[in-house]
Amino acid sequence: MDKISILGGKTLEGTITISGSKNAALPILVSSLLTREISNLDNVPNLLDITTMKELLISLGIKIVAKEKSLFIEPSNNISTHADYELVRKMRASVLVLGPLLARFGEAEVSLPGGCAIGSRPVDIHINALKKMGAKLEIKDGYIKASVPNKKLVGADITFPKVSVGATENIIMAACLAKGKTIIRNAALEPEIDDLITVLNKMGANVYRSDSNKIEVEGVISLKGFSHSVMPDRIEAGTYAMAAVITAGRIELLKAEEKYLKNVIKYLNRVGAKIESTNNGINIEGPKVIKNIDMKTEVYPGFPTDLQAQAMALMSVAEGSSVIEESIFENRFMHIAELVRFGANIKNEGVKAHIVGCKALNGAQVMATDLRASSSLILAGLRAEGETIINRVYHLDRGYENLEKKLSMCGANIRRI
């Protein structure tokens, strides 16, 4: 099994090009189930999660041809409505095929999904919303078994009990082919959802945000193919920005978009970083001394939970003490034990982590526990004195494209072994 070795203590300087967003590309790929026509998706990152989604769609009858950063997607005339456990268990986003299959074919059998062990993230919100649209669903033998009388979903007025990115995406796609209007209240605000909405409207759908957290969808009879380029990955951009901060370096992030990172930039400014926007992206210059700042994760546009672990790595070497509160997932502090192995002073009390900054971290043998936790260990390793070995880096491969190469080009001593 691959490991990553880092010899820390290098000041990073250089340029990193931000890849296409994983979290935008996944639902856009799924939207190809809604049409009989060929589609083309550009700026697709080469990641394990993308490969898993491609394998799932191919198993359902979609033909996908990859050429560099582009995917050419061609549906067959014989689409299966059965999404098998062996593929769905690998990734939470696989449940997104439920809505499109149900909307287009009137039936679906989708395994309960898997993914990172960072919280329960139940599919109840998806199921209850589809029931309001006329679907009959039951969970049996580990599968969500769904059908629609008369093979046609019906528009409905749906209020989510809590904000859910996945449920928002699933119901938007399902509503595109439903009869009548669907209103989704308490919808998620993430820009990746708006990237999906852009694609669906290119396909001939009628989807719009009538209010910031209200999305309306007027169903249509059929959808055509699309051509689209995936938005840049704001979480990757935030991670590399923190790499510049933790090493007191300077990195230019090409293609990073400030408008998607406002609260992250505000946070990094408060810890002492200098940040400026350019025509090509964002420049980040890390401070000599990182300031201690309290932080709470929130739904977008608040500070993203997907950058919480990386922020904790920063605070572990900040001047003074700080508190990080996790309000999105109930089990997203598993990286604390691994950061402590570097010498970090962190104590977990429920949904809060209390951190006392230390002057230096020491290289250590550590283990990635989930995708974003793995990048926090990368940041700690870049700062630490001596060698760090990170195990179970398949988590990292789910969400970061060419990480070792990108950091090496900025002077990091990092390699895969």
Q: Where are the beta strands (DSSP E) in 186-301?
A: 206-211, 214-218, 227-229, 250-254, 274-277, 281-285, 295-296
Whether 122 and 115 have beta carbons less than 8 Å apart is answered as: no
Whether 367 and 390 have beta carbons less than 8 Å apart is answered as: yes
Per-residue pLDDT tens digits for 274-295 = 999 999 999 999 999 999 999 9
275 three-class SS = strand
Catalytic residue among 116, 176, 358, 410: 116
Mean pLDDT, residues 252-271: 97
Query: What structural domains does the chain harbor?
Result: 4-19+232-416 (3.65.10.10), 22-229 (3.65.10.10)
Strands 295-296 and 281-285: unpaired
Q: What's the confidence (pLDDT) of residue 96?
A: 96
Q: What's the confidence (pLDDT) of residue 277?
A: 94
pLDDT above 70 as % of the chain: 98
Q: What residues contact residue 205 under an 8 Å CB cut-off, 6+ apart?
A: 176, 217, 220, 223
- Tokens linked to 54: 């491609």
Q: What's the confidence (pLDDT) of residue 118?
A: 38
Taking the CA atoms of the chain, what radius of gyration do you get in angstroms?
A: 22
In our burial notation (b when 16+ CB lie closer than 10 A, e otherwise), range 5-31 reads: bbbbebebebebbbbbbbbbbbbbbbb
Per-residue pLDDT tens digits for 326-357 = 998 777 899 999 999 999 999 999 999 999 99
- Please determine, for residue 60, whether its predicted confidence score (pLDDT) is greater than 50: yes
DSSP assignment of 278-319: -SSEEEEE--SSPBP--EE--STTS--GGGHHHHHHHHTTSB
Q: Is 410 a catalytic residue?
A: no
Q: Give the whole-angstrom CA distance, residue 103 versus residue 167.
A: 15
Per-residue pLDDT tens digits for 119-156 = 445 689 999 999 999 999 998 888 999 999 888 999 99
Instruction: Name the pLDDT band for 112 (thresholds 50, 70, 90).
Output: confident
In our burial notation (b when 16+ CB lie closer than 10 A, e otherwise), range 59-85 reads: ebebebeeeebebebebeeeeebebbb
Instruction: Name the pLDDT band for 117 (thresholds 50, 70, 90).
Output: very low
Q: What does pLDDT average to over the chain?
A: 95
Q: What's the confidence (pLDDT) of residue 114?
A: 60
Per-residue pLDDT tens digits for 368-411 = 988 888 999 999 999 999 999 999 999 899 999 999 999 999 99
Per-residue pLDDT tens digits for 61-72 = 999 999 999 999
Instruction: Name the pLDDT band for 38 (thresholds 50, 70, 90).
Output: very high
Q: What's the confidence (pLDDT) of residue 279?
A: 92
Q: 147 φ, ψ to 5°?
A: -150, 160
- Please determine, for residue 116, whether its predicted confidence score (pLDDT) is greater than 70: no
- Please determine, for residue 95, whether its predicted confidence score (pLDDT) is greater than 80: yes
Residues pairing with 159 in the sheet: 185
Instruction: Name the pLDDT band for 197 (thresholds 50, 70, 90).
Output: very high
Q: What's the confidence (pLDDT) of residue 265?
A: 98
3-state percent breakdown (helix, strand, coil) of the chain, nearest 5:
35, 30, 35
Instruction: Name the pLDDT band for 1 (thresholds 50, 70, 90).
Output: confident
